[in-house]
Structures are given as structure tokens and as C-alpha cells.
Amino acid sequence: MTWKTLDDMDFAGKRALVRVDINVPVENGVVTDTSRIERIAATVDDIQAKGGKVILMAHFGRPKGQVVPEMSLEIIAPAVSDVLGLPVTFVNGDYAEAVAEMDEGDVLLLENLRFNPGEEKNDEGFAKRLASLADIYVNDAFSAAHRAHASTEAIARLLPACAGRLMAEELGALEKALGSPERPVVAVVGGAKVSTKLDLLGNLVGKVDHLVIGGGMANTFLAAQGINVGKSLCEHDLADTARDILTKAEAAGCEIILPRDIVIAREFKANAQNETVAATQCPDDAMIFDAGPETVAYINDVVDGAKTLIMNGPLGVFELEPFHAGTFAILNEIADQTKAGKLVSVGGGGDTVAAINASGHGDDFTYISTAGGAFLEWMEGKELPGVAALG
């Protein structure tokens, strides 16, 4: 799929309505993490450099179509101004009047889109009101691209539309990872439950050469093959589904990699007494907390031979020492191969980003997506309305 970018648009003297994701954490009225704001700077800078006027629109929290004062973007406006290094005018009231008074280089921030019930209903009337403020629509919020909302989907049909720098960077990285990747391709998928990632696994077995399954999900696959997993987190009712995925993978020529050895403990706490045993030897009273060294060594061999890797989820309970060992070991290998120029690596999803950062490799992947649900739906092979609308 192709989409227009900022380079395809003439912003001189034009008003650009830019959908961004600045849904940042706030404590006691203060923004505690500005990374999402930092990522929109390139788009704002570019539009301004081309002589455009920037009107930012975003959501904050889940007000469900109601005005909720503590979810007003007025709280975030000072942080946006600080990060961008320029005055940002918050507008809550007559948008049209504020836009009419804009000079070249001005930046406005509109009130929380989700205060209007028309936003999440993808209401064309609300989209038209927004569109009337501008000449060009820019979507720089990939993280909201899986939602067909007025500010992501309906509006793209009403104005000349393009992807912002962050959106274009994200789409480019994802295209490299799964759209037209260099092979062999490895996917690492972890997490607690198979049930939340059925669509993902079903899509990946037809697209990748090796699929590593870790975390609680791996337990469900082991149990489906008749292997005892003791008291481990496991969805025994999904045994048939797991076997079906294994069959599909075999037919597609995709190797599914499950734990060969496991790290077990009897208490769910940091530094719990633990031991490493074969995957087939989990005692009835034990829980599986991590993949063992033999498994990790095999995964790292596969990573060494790969050209493309995509990761969504850890191998074990990485939040508790020493059960981070398996996840960190493969992250070290992915980082080394990426830095050596041998691997294109893309990671995404909350736990994945947390594990990558905890391992000290936040800057060592080719691309790290913070888009959450949109990243997962893209991996599942679903069309994202906010992306499709730009095509």
C-alpha cells in the first residue's frame, strides 16, 4: 500500500490539521513521561519549515463522549510547548475564530477529541467541523490507526491527506518487517495467554520461517502435546486450538520453537528458589517461570541466521529476577545482530517495550513501536482504518 507523506504536500500558507498521540501519563497535574510528545516534533517542525500553520488534535484518556475536566488537554499543553520549544495555544471554545487569527508558524492544540461523542462514532458531521478548520489533514498517530474514528478515518475523506513523519516511519518499519521482509524471518511471541493472540499466531505461521513462542502461551502449547506443566499459567481449554496452529505451521513450513528446558519455581516472587529441568519434567507442584539455557541457545542460533525479526512479548516472567535471564539473553543477541547490520529488528507491545528498555537495549532495535493495539492488529494482518484512509 502506498500513502502520501509530508513531502507530497505544499504547506506554504496552509493550515494543517495534525492528528497526534500525546496520551501521556500525568501525576498531580504534571506530565511524567514526554516521549510521545517528543515523537511528534519532527512533523511539527517540517510543516512549520514549509510555511504551514499547525493545528494539533488528540485524545487523552477515555472520557466516553463526556467533558471530564481532569482529562482536558489543557493539562498537557505546557509540556507540548516545552518539548517543541515554541508557544502552543490551547483552544477550548471557538475553534474557527482561533484558527482565523493564526499567523504563519503558530501552533494550536484543540481540546480532547473524545469529549465529543462524534469522535468515537466516526461521525461525519463532527469530521466536517474539524475539516472546516484546515486545508490539509496529517495523520501522525499510528497508535490510533486501528480505530475508525472521526479524527482518523472520516476526516481523511474530506481533506487532502498524508502521513506525518512518525506515521510514515512506523509504516515503513512494519512493511520491512512483515510486508516484504528479507528472509529468513523470525517472530518471537510471548505473553500470558494464547487467547489474546490467536489471530496473531494464525497470521504469523503463514508469513514467518521461525515462530518462537514464550511465556504462559508456551505452557498452553506444551500441555496441548500432553506435557505436564504443573501449576503453571496455562489455558488447557485451548489445547485443540494450539494443536491446530501447530498443524498449520507445519503445512506452511514454519518452525514453531517451544521451550526445550524450563526454569521452575514453587513461589511467585523475585529470587524464589528455582531449578532448570527438561520441558517434559515439570513437577506437579511447580510453575514454569522462564525458558532454560538450552532453549535460549537454540533461539539465539536461529536469530544469528535470520535477516528479519519481529518481537511481541517476553519469554518468561522478566519482571522478577532471575526469571528475566531468558528474555534478556535473546534481547542481547538481537541487539548485537542489529548493531552489526545483519538483522532488521522490530519490537512492539507494552511488555516487549518494557523488557527491551529493562535490558538496556532501547536504542538497539531497528524500530520500536509504542503503538500497542495498532501494532498488534497490524501483526494480525488486519486492515487499519486510519492507514487505509490515507491510501
- 120, pLDDT greater than 70: yes
Which sequence positions are flagged as catalytic?
36, 193, 350, 373
The pLDDT score that the predictor gives to residue 56 is: 98
- Please give the model's pTM, rounded to 2 decimal places: 0.88
Q: Where are the beta strands (DSSP E) in the chain?
A: 15-19, 26-27, 30-31, 53-57, 89-91, 107-110, 136-139, 161-163, 185-189, 210-213, 255-257, 261-265, 274-278, 287-291, 308-312, 344-348, 367-369
- pLDDT, mean over the chain: 95
Do the domains spanning 6-167 and 181-379 agree at the CATH topology level? yes
Between 3.40.50.720, 3.10.20.30, 3.40.50.1260, 3.40.50.1820, what CATH number should domain 181-379 receive? 3.40.50.1260
The pLDDT score that the predictor gives to residue 148 is: 95
Average pLDDT over residues 254-263: 98
Domain layout of the chain by residue ranges: 6-167, 181-379
The pLDDT score that the predictor gives to residue 17 is: 98
Residues 98/89, Cβ–Cβ less than 8 Å: yes
Average pLDDT over residues 71-81: 97
pLDDT tens, 291-346?
Answer: 999 999 999 999 999 999 999 999 999 999 999 999 999 999 999 999 999 999 99
Average pLDDT over residues 18-25: 96
| Confidence label for 1 from pLDDT (cuts 50, 70 and 90) | low
Average pLDDT over residues 110-137: 97
Name the amino acid, one letter, at 103.
D
What is the spatial distance between Cα 287 and Cα 262, in angstroms, rounded to a whole number?
Answer: 10
pLDDT tens, 346-375?
Answer: 999 878 999 999 999 999 999 999 888 888
For the domain bounded by 6-167, which CATH number is listed? 3.40.50.1260
